[in-house]
Amino acid sequence: MSEALLVQEAGAATTAAPASGASPFWQRLRTQRAVLVAAVVVALLVLIALGAPLLAAIEGQDPTTYHPKLVDSATGGVPLGSFGGISAEHWLGVEPLTGRDLFARVAYGARVSLGVALAATVAQVVIGVAVGLSAGLGNRYVDQALSRITDVMVALPVMVIALGVLTVVPASVPRPVLIAGVIGLVGWAGISKIVRAQTLSLKSRDHVAAARLSGWGGVQIARRELLPALAAPVITYSVLLFPADIVVEAALSFLGVGIKPPTPSWGQMLSDADTWYQAAPTYLLIPAALLFVTVFALTVLGEGVRTALDPRAASRLPIGTSRKKSGKKSGKKKEAGA
C-alpha cells in the first residue's frame, strides 16, 4: 500500500509540475532495472502484510496458538524436525519454547513493521511540511521561532527520546500508535528544514510574486504555488524516511520496549532468537533476512524515485562521471548520486 501511495503521489507531483512532466518521471523510473525488482519485492511484502489473516488461514494456523507438542521439552523447547520444524502445516517452522507458527507470526509482524513505519512517515511529513512552510512564509519572528524549535528537534535523538517516552506513558496506550507518534513528533526536523529552504527560494520567483500581488493569501499561495513545487524534494526525502522508520521500530522492539507480546514484530523476534540461534538458527535468520530485504528494497526504491524525480542529478551525473560514455548509464542505475 505504501508503494502504491508513493507512486501515486509521485505521479501527481510530476503532473502538477509541468517542468518535469509525468512521462519523463516514469521513463526514468522504468529504465532502472534494480528499482523495478525492488518495487516488486516491496509490493509482495505489502501484500503479505495486508493479506496476513488470509495467508495464515490458507496455511491453517494463527500467530498466537501454542503447539507444545511440536517442541522438544527435553532440550528446553527446541522445535522438533529439521530446519526449525518446517513442514507442510508450518511453512516456516515453529517458534522455540512455545511452538507458535512462525509463518503466521512473520506475516503479522510485517503488518506491524510496515504499518508503524507508514504512520510514522506520514506524521513526520505532515508536521515537517507544515512547520517548514509556515517558517518560510511567515514574517521574521515566526521564522526565527520555528527555526529555533527545529534546531532543538534536531538535537533530540529519536531513539533516546522514544526509549524515554515509552517509560513514562502507561501501558494502556497501544504501543504501535505510541511508537509511530513518537517518531512522527520527534523526527520531522529534517523535512521542515528542506521545506523552509525551498520555500524561501521559491518565494522570490516571479509566479509566487505575481500570486502575492494579485492579492492571494498565504494559505492559497502555499497550496496553489508552493506545494506542487515542493512535492519532489519532499517525496525524495520521505521515501528514504520510511525504511529508516522500519529500523527504529524494529530496534525499539529488539530492545524490549517497543511492540509488546503477544503482538508479533520482527525486532522482538530477533531479540528472542538471540538465545536460540544455536539450537534453532532459522528462528533468527528468517526475521533477520526479512528485515534486511524489506529495508534494502525500500532503500533501492527510494533511491530510484529520487533519481527519477531529480532531473538535475539525472542529467548531471553522466557529465564527468566517466570519460567512457557507455559506462555511465549502468553506473547510474542504482545510484541517486550527488
Partner 1 sequence: MNRFLLRRFGGALFVLVALTVVVYAIFYVAPGNVAQIACGPRCSPAQVAQLSDKLHLGDPVYVQYAHFVQGIFAGRDYSGGTGTIHCGAPCLGISYQGDQQVTQLILAKLPATASLIVGAFVLWMLLGVGTGLLSVWRRGRPTERILTALTLAGMSTPVFVIGLLLIIVFCSTLQWLPFPDYVPFTQDPAEWGWNLLLPWVSLAVISAAPYARMTRASMLETLADDHVRTFRAYGVSERSLVWRHALRGALAPIIALAALDVGMMFGGAVLTESLFGIPGVGRQLVEAVKTVDLPVVVGLVLVTGFFVVLANAVADVLHAMADRRVVLS
Residues of this chain that interact with partner 1 (CB under 8 A) are 34, 148-149, 151-152, 154-157, 159-161, 163-170, 243, 247, 250-251, 254-257, 267, 270-271, 273-274, 277-278, 281, 284, 288, 291-292, 295-296, 298-300, 303, 316-317, 319-322, 324, 326-328, 330-331, 333-335, 337-338
Query: Rounded distance, CA 218 to CA 81, Å?
Result: 67
Q: Which is nearer to partner 1, 13 or 269 (CB)?
A: 269
Q: Helix 175-186 to helix 227-254 angle, to the nearest 10 degrees?
A: 130
- Tell the smallest beta-carbon distance from residue 49 to partner 1 (Å): 18
CA atoms lying within 13 Å on the CB side of residue 239: 32
SS3 71: strand
- Tell the smallest beta-carbon distance from residue 13 to partner 1 (Å): 23
Dihedral angle, C-alpha 213, 214, 220, 226, nearest 10 °: -50
Closest CA to 121 of 53, 179, 170: 179
Copy the grid coordinates of residue 195: 521545506
Q: Which is nearer to partner 1, 214 or 326 (CB)?
A: 326
Query: Rounded distance, CA 128 to CA 194, Å?
Result: 9
Distance of CA 292 to the CA centre of its chain: 13
- Tell the smallest beta-carbon distance from residue 228 to partner 1 (Å): 27
- Tell the smallest beta-carbon distance from residue 193 to partner 1 (Å): 12
Q: Is residue 158 within 8 Å of residue 187, measured between CB atoms?
A: yes
Q: Which is nearer to partner 1, 256 or 262 (CB)?
A: 256
Q: Which is nearer to partner 1, 70 or 120 (CB)?
A: 120
Q: Which is nearer to partner 1, 132 or 304 (CB)?
A: 304
Q: Which is nearer to partner 1, 222 or 267 (CB)?
A: 267
- Tell the smallest beta-carbon distance from residue 71 to partner 1 (Å): 21
- Tell the smallest beta-carbon distance from residue 338 to partner 1 (Å): 4
- Tell the smallest beta-carbon distance from residue 166 to partner 1 (Å): 7
Residue 278 CB neighbour total at 10 angstroms: 8
Q: Which is nearer to partner 1, 41 or 118 (CB)?
A: 41
CA atoms lying within 13 Å on the CB side of residue 141: 0
Length of the chain: 338
Q: Which residue has the cell 523510473?
A: 29
